[in-house]
Amino acid sequence: MPDNLPNLIYRDLAKNASDLSDYDLFRLTDFIKSTKSDFALDLLLISFTSCYNKYLEQIESIETNNENNNKNILKLLSLRCKNLSSILEYFEDDNLINFKKELMDIISSLISNNDFIFSQNFFINLSKIEPLHCLKLLRKNKNDLTDELSSLLISIEEEFEEYQHLSFEVEEIINKNISDFKFDFPNFNYLDFI
Amino acid sequence: MSQKILNEINTEKEEIFYFLLDILPSVRTNNEIAKFWNLFKGNPSTFHNSHKIPNSISKMESLVLFFKFYQALYLEEKNKAILYIENFVNNEVFDEFYLLSVLFGIKENLDVQSYFEIDDQYFSNLLKTYYFIKLNDFDKAYNILIEINSINRLSLLKEIFYLQCAIEKGLYEESENIFTFLLEINKNNNPLKKLYVYYLIRKGQILEAQKYLAKNKIKINTIKDRTLFLYNLLETKQFDKAISFLKKEGKTDEEFFLLARLYHVIGLLDEAFNIYDKLDDTKFAVNKMKGIIYFQLGKMDKALLAFNEEISKRYVDTDILKIIKFLKIKKRWNNA
């Protein structure tokens, strides 16, 4: 693989992330980490989806064929999914906001398959821009959460409480500042009125 | 009692002194002074130009010195004003016009303390009394006044100082008695009426003060008069009247800021914003108020900018810090 590839080739590589050699995947993720753009985030999500879909296929194949060989591939894909999701932390909130919908879709899919372990980094990063959405989902699945997700739920709940408290407090501050005239009445004396 | 005190005013100097202090309505012995003072008081810069000093005045050297002092004081030539007081001292003249000059010096915050100590203990105590009244130290002022209680000179001025102490010390019955007496012999005395309005406000009788102002058709001229009038309107929540008044009579930035605050409180946000926008944002909390307007209009990014501007240009306000923290969190919790 040459050093600088056209964007379309990176996209193709991402789509086939599950089948790439470790070295090529390293080159791809290195590009994503160093670029940290919307395009890089898009590549990351495509790569994750590729690996995760393959991971699901492997599970299905193991369940139907009970092939031991597939279990090693499953381990590899599981590791790739975890590693790829950890790269999310390289991105700024602005990038995450532009891919809010995609992040939510991936989380929904992971939850529906009970794959909370892969969802951790998605929740952590989505909570930076959509804490309320995360709060609702985490509360709904409270009993199935990993330890890390349970801690995340606690911290989001605390922040939500602080937000609600601040919301009331700020409303009072705003109203007080509008209506509170500090019109100090000074001491006057007879000569002041001459 | 009033007749007794009036009878005590038996020198021309004393009569002019009272006239210049606006305590008595007219000078019986010298109408030229009345005419001259009325012109000069309104425009002290004309002293050397169009309005020649009447002969009867120019003969009274210390009165002329007072007029020169007054002119320098109101043209804000403070050092010059002090020099005129020095002239009194050099000429060893410590009469009513010396007293008057130092009183006006205290009123306008000149550094005149060294001129209090004169041989005339009575005048000296009157000056110290007024000095402590200016410093809002009414106990000291009262004690100094008590020392000269038995001396019957310039009794009207002494009464006014005593009244001032009584008002601030909450001796309302005594204040009322002195007002009755002073208003009896000063029926048309505007400053005294304003002091009565002030007294009513100090007593917390805002509605009475309002009625008294309206009933007596008291003219509102200076910033202090306007403060008195506005305080009444604001305390009685007559914001619409306060707005009309400030639109017509407002002259200082402080008054325009108040006008903007009033527009703000009744919901005229554009009008409030336009005034906030024109005022010095290092002197007034206009960025804070602009931030609040943006907040009310849901323009949170602009609100955040305005609040940050406020704390960078003025001082850190815990209220603003809370709002800034909230706005940052709100961005993320927008749908909550």
Asked if A168 reaches chain B (Cβ–Cβ under 8 Å), the answer is no
B229 contact A CB<8A: no
Contact between B224 and A188 using a beta-carbon 8 Å cutoff: yes
User: What is the model's pLDDT at position B336?
Assistant: 44
Determine the residue of chain A that is closest to B129 in CA distance: A189
pTM of this structure: 0.66
Q: Are B127 and B99 in contact, with CB atoms under 8 Å apart?
A: yes
Confirm or reject contact between B48 and chain A (CB < 8 A).
Answer: no
Contact A193 B190 (CB under 8 A): yes
User: Which residues on A lie below 8 Å from B265 (Cβ)?
Assistant: 178-179, 181
Neighbours of A182 (CB within 10 A): 5
A194 close to B (CB below 8 A): yes
Q: Are A130 and A95 in contact (CB under 8 A)?
A: no
Which of A130, A159, A185 shows the shortest C-beta gap to B231? A185
Q: Report the C-alpha gap between B209 and B229 in whole angstroms.
A: 9
Q: Is B222 on the interface with A (CB under 8 A)?
A: yes
The answer to whether B234 faces chain A, any CB pair under 8 Å, is: yes
CB contact under 8 A, A189 and B201: no
- Got the DSSP string for B220-261? --SHHHHHHHHHHHHHTT-HHHHHHHHHHH--SHHHHHHHHH
Q: Where are the domains of chain B?
A: 189-236
**Residue ranges covered by each domain of chain A:** 1-91, 116-180
CB–CB contact A181 B261 (8 Å): yes
B147-161 core/surface letters (b: 16 or more CB in 10 A; e: else): ebeeeeebbbbbbbb
Mutate to test the interface with A, among B234, B310, B333 (most CBs of A within 10 A): B333
Query: In this complex, is the C-beta atom of A104 within 8 Å of any C-beta atom belonging to chain B?
Result: no
pLDDT tens, residue by residue, A43-85: 999 999 999 999 999 988 887 776 666 778 899 999 999 999 9
Please tell me which residue of chain B has the smallest CA distance to A94. B332
**Residue A145 backbone class (left: φ over 0; alpha: ψ -120 to 50; beta: rest):** beta
Nearest partner of A58 among A74, A80, A47, A72, judged by Cα: A74
Burial class (CB in 10 A: 0-12, 13-18, 19+), B249: middle
What is the ipTM, given to two decimal places? 0.74
Q: How confident is the prediction along chain B (336 residues), in pLDDT tens digits per residue?
A: 556 666 666 678 888 888 888 887 677 777 888 888 888 887 877 666 545 677 778 788 999 999 999 999 988 899 999 999 999 999 999 999 999 999 999 999 999 999 999 999 999 999 999 999 999 999 999 999 999 988 888 888 999 999 999 999 999 999 999 999 998 888 888 889 999 988 988 888 877 887 888 888 887 777 788 887 888 788 778 899 889 889 988 888 988 999 999 999 999 999 999 999 999 999 999 999 999 999 999 999 999 999 999 999 988 889 999 999 999 888 888 754
What is d(CA B56, CA A174) in angstroms, rounded to the nearest whole number?
63
Contact A163 B336 (CB under 8 A): yes
Residues of A in contact with B18 (CB under 8 A): none
**Measured between CB atoms, does A185 come within 8 Å of chain B?**
yes
Q: Which of B133, B319, B323 sits opposite A189 (nearest CB)?
A: B133
Q: Which helix or strand (DSSP H or E) is residue B334 part of?
A: none
Alpha-carbon span A165 to A173, nearest angstrom:
12
Looking at the complex, does the CB of residue B328 fall below 8 Å from at least one CB of chain A? Answer: no
Closest CA–CA distance from residue A89 to any residue of chain B (Å): 17
User: What CA–CA distance (Å, rounded) separates A78 from A84?
Assistant: 10
Asked if the Cβ–Cβ distance from A174 to B289 is below 8 Å, we say: no
CA distance B174 to A169: 47
Are residues A191 and B107, on separate chains, in Cβ contact within 8 Å?
Answer: yes
d(CA A177, CA A172): 8
* Among candidates B190, B228, B322 on the partner chain, residue whose Cβ is nearest the Cβ of A169: B322
What single string gives the DSSP state of each residue in B249-306? H--SHHHHHHHHHHHHHTT-HHHHHHHHHHS-TTTS-HHHHHHHHHHHTT-HHHHHHH
